Amino acid sequence: MASISEVPDEPGQPPALSALSLAQTSQDSKAKEQIITPFDVSGGVDEHGKAVAIDYDKLIDRFGSQRIDKAILERFEKLTGKPPHRLLRRGMVFSHRDLNLILDKYEKGVPFFLYTGRGPSSDSMHVGHTIPFEFTKYLQDAFDVPLVIMLTDDEKFLHSPKLSLKECRRFALENALDIIAIGFDPKKTFIFADTEFIYSDDGAAFGFNILEMSKKTTNNQIKGTFGFNDTNNIGEFAFPATQSATSFASSFPFIFGHNLKAVNKIPCLIPCAIDQDPYFRQCRDNAPRLGLMKPALIHTVFLPSLRGSESKMSASDTDSSIFLSDTDNQIKKKVGKAFSGGQDTREEHERLGGRTAVDVPFQYLTFFLEDDEQLEHIRQQYESGKMQSGEMKATATKELQAYVWAFRERRKAVTPEIREEFMRPRQLIFKSMPSEKEQRAALEEERRVLQKRLVLVEGSLQRLQATGQAS
């Protein structure tokens, strides 16, 4: 009899990606399924060969996650005493796994921790990258919980034919500065780059969890979940265990303490863009087999590309994205050329009205404009043809300029010293952190180890001096 733990419990596991693409090519029609994986995001193509927007409802069905509904929004409001974030109110945070369990526990006084991350594939981040981070900051502030941010420089190195390890490590450090500028609380946030943390003394517990997870992960699982084949390198096959291991509080004893019985009860909530879901489906399948809790997830949509909502902003396609380093003038030029849902002529626009559903500048307003009433007013004006696309573009330009300007101001204040503090393994400050006694014991132990090491280093130095004198 198969034990319960061996049965994948995630309903609606998508078919293996390789099978999916075979099915596509066997059809005569021009239609193509949308592809959403951690490595590739593109909307589908209809039977006439026309690109269509990403269908998030379909994704929920295919991935087998849950929809964020009104009841959840009300729970957020009740638990935090604050109105839900605009991304929640407007459906850009649209899907979840086990969020209710996290909120149940939180309600009973059991705290959780947040985990999110970024793959540092270049040194320039765009405004689409900040969306899950903005939402994570709201969660950190609203629930007052610790947060770990993982920079997967190893992942980007393994997956990119071009990037060197050195480049990926540099991007991780560069990106950390941008991420800090989102406004995370230094007392509650630990940021780490894989290639630095995994191989350090403080990363040992994390390394052990990676090993445990690797042992439970088969090549078959990875092929099914990610569509890899035998031409993928073995590092790519192994990496998902690393992204998974961050979901467990026991990977961070300097934050959560050393009492494993207590630590293993701290649940994890992962805010991420929906393309990361395959990693965590995989993790959730295997976690119970290690006696560990499955992480809960909360998914955001992608910020549409300037070219249209069939694709997301992409750092490698500079005409698709507004970068955090863009000047006011660059933003104005780019939004001016963005895909518009306006009609071809002024008269037609007045007669038929603009199409907000496909209008990229309007989409950006839904992400960045805080005021619900103002947004609704703009929608009505545009759809009724009273507002022309030029005015829509000017409004979106202003809002994006203000967002990027505020980011730039905060970014100026982030020094390498501040980054060092965020990236130092250390005790974070939160409601149910380990007791002072436990912290003291751990620090005393660390001091003992360091002292012993110092004695050994000094011994080596003396020997070196002695041989130096002898020769």
Interacting residues toward ligand TRP by CB under 6 A: 38, 115-119, 150, 152, 155, 243, 270, 272, 276
For residue 92, give every residue at least 6 positions away whose Cβ sits within 8 Å of its Cβ, in sequence order, or none.
131, 300, 301, 366, 367
- In angstroms, give the least distance from the CB of 183 to ligand TRP: 18
CA dihedral 92→94→97→101, nearest 10 degrees, is 90
Tokens read off for 44: 């589908």
Q: Judge contact between 296 and 101, C-beta under 8 A.
A: yes
Counting beta carbons within 10 angstroms of the beta carbon of residue 28, is it exposed (0 to 12), middle (13 to 18) or buried (19 or more)?
exposed
Cα distance between residue 195 and residue 172, in whole Å: 10
How many helices (H) and strands (E) in the chain? Answer: 22, 11
Q: What 3-state class would DSSP assign to 95?
A: strand
* 192 or 362: CB nearest ligand TRP: 192
CA distances from residue 318 to 43, 160, 209, 362 in whole angstroms, order as listed:
19, 18, 38, 20
The three-point CA angle 172-178-181 to 5° equals 140
Q: Where are the beta strands (DSSP E) in 230-382?
A: 268-273, 296-300, 304-305, 308-312
* 43 or 117: CB nearest ligand TRP: 117
* 283 or 335: CB nearest ligand TRP: 283
- In angstroms, give the least distance from the CB of 151 to ligand TRP: 8
* 77 or 236: CB nearest ligand TRP: 236
Closest CA to 93 of 64, 121, 67: 67
* 189 or 276: CB nearest ligand TRP: 276
Tokens read off for 242: 């690393």
With DSSP H G I counted as helix, E B as strand and the rest as coil, what are the percentages for the chain, rounded to 5? 55, 10, 35
Element (H, E) at 191: strand 189-193
* 236 or 421: CB nearest ligand TRP: 236
- In angstroms, give the least distance from the CB of 116 to ligand TRP: 4
* 84 or 117: CB nearest ligand TRP: 117
* 239 or 362: CB nearest ligand TRP: 239
CB atoms within 10 A of CB 159: 19
- In angstroms, give the least distance from the CB of 78 to ligand TRP: 26
Element (H, E) at 100: helix 99-107
Rounded to 5 degrees, what are φ and ψ at 321? -130, 150
- In angstroms, give the least distance from the CB of 164 to ligand TRP: 17
* 206 or 382: CB nearest ligand TRP: 206
Q: Judge contact between 83 and 135, C-beta under 8 A.
A: no
Q: What is the largest CA-CA distance in the chain?
A: 96
- In angstroms, give the least distance from the CB of 35 to ligand TRP: 16
* 168 or 400: CB nearest ligand TRP: 168
Q: Judge contact between 51 and 45, C-beta under 8 A.
A: yes
* 275 or 383: CB nearest ligand TRP: 275
- In angstroms, give the least distance from the CB of 14 to ligand TRP: 18
- In angstroms, give the least distance from the CB of 28 to ligand TRP: 35
- In angstroms, give the least distance from the CB of 425 to ligand TRP: 18
- In angstroms, give the least distance from the CB of 120 to ligand TRP: 8
- In angstroms, give the least distance from the CB of 251 to ligand TRP: 12
CB atoms within 10 A of CB 439: 14
The residue number whose beta carbon is nearest to ligand TRP equals 119
